[in-house]
Amino acid sequence: MRVMTRMRNGNQLDTAAELLSLLGDTDTEERRDAQLDALALAVAADLPVLLWGEPGIGKTAGLTQLAADLGLPLTTVIASVHEPSDFAGLPVVGDDPAVHGVPMAPPDWAVRLAAAGRGLLFLDELSTAPPAVQAALLRLVLERRVGALTLPPGVRIVAAANPRGSAADGWELSPPLANRFVHLQWTHDAAVVVRGLGGVWPRAVLPRLDRARLREAVAYARRAVQTFLTARPGLVHRMPGADQARGGAWPSPRSWDMALRLIAFGTAAGTSREVLSMLVRGAVGDGPGLELLAGLDRLDLPDPETLLADPVGTPLPERGDLRQAVLDGVISAVRDRPERERWDAAWSLLARAAETGPPDLVVVPATTLAALRREEWDVPALIDRLAGTVALSRRAVAA
């Protein structure tokens, strides 16, 4: 009787295992997801990423799916349940310590990663790791060293944390550790969750880098960051005053270097501005990141000299703020080198701007340009085309 009962229970467990297997049998589809694209690009750029999000929203599941999609073995380490020596290494006394020293032996998970040569190291529950463990993680995150072992270049590092208010016995991240990560806010998309529960989740795809644009992308990223920090030197290093803010993204030479790398990768991959914004702000913080992104917009603007050479054919930006910046730049160029041909060309450009965009953007540049007129310069006939916007003919004649 007992044998029959055990057999029936065994059969039921086998059936339960079959049902569990069916529940885990899901599919993926290539669907644009900004936060997944941002994570994939940071992983491709070999930058440590820290995902911030409330418990239960799928951070761990997302990393598991990412590793599977990229074909990387996943190694999960719960930071809060480890001792500092698990990351700094355990001392191993050899035959002659006075001659050979005492090496620091790495843990088994690090040895497995090194042997595989590639993989995704997932440091979970980072915000519940005490300060001593966070200190031991510094060298792992920045130098990829665990004890005496250096992880191979094929290993990528991603961590996850809950905000302190929702973390069990949570700690603020130390500023040195926080400044080593690209911080991404991980949220759930109801439509993605619903479709995923139906059996289809979005697939993580590494960015497709255009080999022909690699040098251009590096030059563009360097120019963007250099131009911005030249104008805003106070942001080269600015640690927040509040302890909580220090545990997030903030500007330092290290995080600007991360931002530069992200811009280069994003440019080579043709990444959307939304994804690039998430990454840059995740490296240097919201304020500096948004300023840099605004600078990127202006970096792409046509050169004023190009516009003066071809005021009819050179494209003008559609966005009002960028168009205003272009027109102001052209007027400044004419002021720096006032010549009749350049003055006439600027009027042609303003007339086209008034006809193809908001006419109010032309008022200030046109007024300034009119004041630059020399006595021997005739008033161009096309100035009448702007009369409905500003009364310029009378001002130019009276100037």
* Residue of higher predicted confidence among 313 and 93: 313
Q: What is the 3-state secondary structure (H, E, C) of the chain?
A: CHHHHHHHHHHHHHHHHHHHHHHCCCEEECCCCHHHHHHHHHHHCCCCEEEECCCCCCHHHHHHHHHHHHCCCEEEEEHHHCCCHHHHCEECCCCCHHHHCCCEECCHHHHHHHHHCEEEEEEECHHHCCHHHHHHHHHHHHHCEECCEECCCEEEEEEEECCHHHCCCCCCCCHHHHCCCEEEECCCCHHHHHHHHCCEEECCCCCCCCHHHHHHHHHHHHHHHHHHHHHCHHHCCCCCCCHHHHCCCCCCHHHHHHHHHHHHHHHHHCCCHHHHHHHHHHHHCHHHHHHHHHHHHHHCCCCHHHHHHCCCCCCCCCCHHHHHHHHHHHHHHHHHCCCHHHHHHHHHHHHHHHHHCCHHHHHHHHHHHHHCCCCCCCCCHHHHHHCCCCCHHHHHHHC
Region 211-229: what's the mean pLDDT?
93
Q: Which residues pair with residue 154 across a beta bridge?
A: 118
Judge whether residue 197 has pLDDT over 70: yes
CA distance 51 to 35: 10
Give burial (CB, 10 Å; 0-12/13-18/19+) of 163. Answer: middle
Q: Are 89 and 148 in contact (CB under 8 A)?
A: yes
pLDDT of residue 394: 45
Range of weakest confidence among 69-73, 136-140, 298-302, 318-322:
298-302
* Residue of higher predicted confidence among 320 and 159: 159
pLDDT of residue 65: 80
Q: What are 128-176's pLDDT values in tens digits? A: 888 888 888 998 998 898 888 899 999 999 999 888 666 556 678 889 9
- Count CB atoms within 10 A of the CB of residue 343: 18
The residues spanned by each domain of the chain are 28-202, 212-299, 304-398
Q: How confident is the model at residue 182 (pLDDT cuts 50, 70, 90)?
A: very high
- Find all residues with CB under 8 Å of 380, minimum gap 6, and list them: 344, 347, 348
pLDDT of residue 259: 97
Region 106-119: what's the mean pLDDT?
90
Q: Are 280 and 183 in contact (CB under 8 A)?
A: no
Backbone angles phi, psi at 232, to 5 degrees: -130, 65
pLDDT of residue 176: 92
Judge whether residue 100 has pLDDT over 70: no
* CA proximity to 39, closest of 209, 284, 213, 203: 203
- Find all residues with CB under 8 Å of 356, minimum gap 6, and list them: 316
Region 54-82: what's the mean pLDDT?
84
Region 369-378: what's the mean pLDDT?
88
Range of weakest confidence among 117-121, 150-154, 315-319:
315-319
Q: What are 229-277's pLDDT values in tens digits? A: 988 899 999 998 877 788 899 999 999 999 999 999 999 999 999 999 9
Range of weakest confidence among 127-136, 196-205, 250-259, 290-299:
196-205
Could you tell me the pTM of the whole model? 0.76
- Find all residues with CB under 8 Å of 362, minimum gap 6, and list them: 327, 350, 353, 354, 386, 389, 390
Q: How confident is the model at residue 10 (pLDDT cuts 50, 70, 90)?
A: low
pLDDT of residue 303: 83
**Distance from chain centroid for Cα 170:** 26
Q: What are 42-65's pLDDT values in tens digits? A: 999 999 999 998 887 777 877 888
**pLDDT > 70 fraction of the chain, expressed in percent and rounded:** 89
* CA proximity to 235, closest of 277, 178, 285, 184: 285
pLDDT of residue 165: 63
Judge whether residue 290 has pLDDT over 80: yes
CA distance 305 to 329: 9
Taking the domain 28-202, which CATH number applies? 3.40.50.300
pLDDT of residue 94: 60
Region 206-211: what's the mean pLDDT?
90
